[in-house]
Chain A
């Protein structure tokens, strides 16, 4: 991926570290570099900029992560049926710029593109988790506060991640992306412990809202290639945006996917509807005032987020899950950030508790 960087900051303590060397070797020429004692001020929003969030994406900060790397998925909540996903935060913010992205609100105060140089500490946290619960299986993803692969050409982090997870028995890594940056993965042996997942949207959504991401067909082609290389692949139809032609377009997308990739090679699907907190909605509309995908039939839902009104959202969920199940009976499909009642309505049975679903999804690759 081509980076548009205005400036790079490196915390002094990491200036001679392997990550700094890798990044500095691969930086586009002419990007100013500054060594700082503490990268946090550089990560903060520069309110003098007309779009401080976009400006933050162009400031790369190689710095220490001062809070735990491992946490429960921030999307999880008692009001939703969750998938037991654990998030490993190795970076924050993303070089792509999706109009609906929750980071516009979530990291609005700290939008600098932070890459955490002390990432080896994350491996210690994972090993501590395994020691604490040696009989459980966990699915751990790096794609929540950043795209898992968008900056891999700079950092080469995937090489170390895959190497670490390939040596685990009860940890599964999920690399979630909207890119086709898979070259680093192709010569590694994930030994059944790594899933690469793609967020998939129809071309209309990609063209309107998923700026700087790879086109859907390129993502699907990349999925085929990593599946050939021995990785599990999974897909997130999330957010499903209910624009007028959505049903037709999402079904065509699924048909294309299944034509390219044998459904038996897919580990799971998740489906989630567009959901925007009032703050996110305002930020997204301010930044992308002409995006019709942000002017759909969303209404304020009981959870305080704008969502597509229920009958339409449920109909899309039902239609998509039925098409997936027809093509791939038995494939795990779950809803993200929806109530148990909605899951039961769509799938005909209540969803498993998060720990159980998490366990199933973590093991799905090996079963």
Chain B
């Protein structure tokens, strides 16, 4: 068996064992040998689940298009190397890898969301009052939810909400593009 066939067979074998859909496998096999094997090595080392491999495949390809890099170079990135090679359980590292890839794939979205989540956390909302950011910051709707069981609780939560009105307004402004993103 030639080396060319051997690496492709290794990927096919892993994909078959993990029920990777054919179109995803085709994309994987379209990569250069170095890139395709880099993902296989990570998938084996971290025992990635099928969904995680599919996410990694898509994000690595998209980061690659934008940055002009192959999967092997991206996976050797200084921010990813410690996750892949570092300590911790494999499931934790697998999750961390996907999270970090998402940060690299959506850098400005990640920064903005982190900043907004920190602003929500800094409000120290009481139990029963939540401020929820839209998923992936995909809309300009901020959801504020009050959960009450008594009139007194309603008064307390409304007062807590009123006390945070300016901070919530600032959050709405960030959602509406007022800040450097």
Interchain nearest-CB distance for B158 vs A (Å): 24
- Contact B106–A311 (Cβ < 8 Å): no
- Contact B139–A291 (Cβ < 8 Å): no
Find chain B residues with CB under 8 A from A317 CB. Answer: 177
- Contact B140–A300 (Cβ < 8 Å): no
- Contact B139–A297 (Cβ < 8 Å): no
Contacts between chains A and B (CB distance < 8 A), count: 78
- Contact A341–B140 (Cβ < 8 Å): yes
In the assembled complex, B137 has its CB within 8 A of some CB on chain A: yes
Known: A297-B106, A297-B109, A299-B109. A309 touches B136 (CB 8 A): yes
Contact mask for chain A residues 317-337; partner B; CB cutoff 8 A; 1 contact, 0 none: 110000000000000000000
- Contact A295–B137 (Cβ < 8 Å): no
Known: A309-B112, A312-B177, A315-B177. A299 touches B138 (CB 8 A): yes
Which residues of chain A in 324-355 are interfacial with respect to chain B, using CB atoms and an 8 Å cutoff? 339, 341-342, 345
- Contact B112–A311 (Cβ < 8 Å): yes
- Contact A310–B139 (Cβ < 8 Å): yes
In the assembled complex, B48 has its CB within 8 A of some CB on chain A: no
In the assembled complex, A75 has its CB within 8 A of some CB on chain B: no
In the assembled complex, B128 has its CB within 8 A of some CB on chain A: no
- Contact A301–B140 (Cβ < 8 Å): no
Find chain A residues with CB under 8 A from B177 CB. Answer: 310-318, 345
In the assembled complex, A302 has its CB within 8 A of some CB on chain B: yes
Find chain A residues with CB under 8 A from B66 CB. Answer: 292, 295-296
- The residue in chain B whose Cβ has the minimal distance to the Cβ of A313 is B177
In the assembled complex, B176 has its CB within 8 A of some CB on chain A: yes
Partner of A314, one of B62, B106, B176: B176
Partner of A295, one of B62, B107, B108, B112: B62
Interface hub of A295, A310, A345 (most chain B Cβ within 10 A):
A310
- Contact A302–B138 (Cβ < 8 Å): yes
Known: A299-B138, A307-B138. A312 touches B65 (CB 8 A): no
Find chain B residues with CB under 8 A from A310 CB. Answer: 134, 137-140, 175-177
Interchain nearest-CB distance for A139 vs B (Å): 28
Find chain B residues with CB under 8 A from A307 CB. Answer: 138
Interchain nearest-CB distance for A249 vs B (Å): 16
- The residue in chain B whose Cβ has the minimal distance to the Cβ of A312 is B181
In the assembled complex, B80 has its CB within 8 A of some CB on chain A: no
- Contact A299–B140 (Cβ < 8 Å): no
Which residues of chain B in 58-107 are interfacial with respect to chain A, using CB atoms and an 8 Å cutoff? 62-63, 65-66, 68, 106-107
- Contact B112–A312 (Cβ < 8 Å): yes
Contact mask for chain B residues 167-178; partner A; CB cutoff 8 A; 1 contact, 0 none: 000000011111
Inter-chain CA distance A309–B113, complex, in Å, is: 10
- The residue in chain A whose Cβ has the minimal distance to the Cβ of B113 is A309
- Contact B136–A311 (Cβ < 8 Å): no
In the assembled complex, B179 has its CB within 8 A of some CB on chain A: yes
Known: A311-B112, A312-B177. A290 touches B65 (CB 8 A): yes
B interface list, Cβ under 8 A from A:
62-63, 65-66, 68, 106-109, 112, 134-141, 174-181
A-B contact pairs, 30 of them (CB 8 A): A289-B65, A291-B65, A292-B65, A296-B66, A299-B137, A300-B136, A300-B138, A301-B139, A302-B138, A302-B139, A302-B141, A307-B138, A309-B108, A309-B137, A309-B138, A310-B137, A310-B138, A310-B175, A310-B177, A311-B137, A311-B174, A311-B179, A314-B176, A315-B180, A317-B177, A318-B177, A318-B178, A339-B140, A342-B140, A345-B176
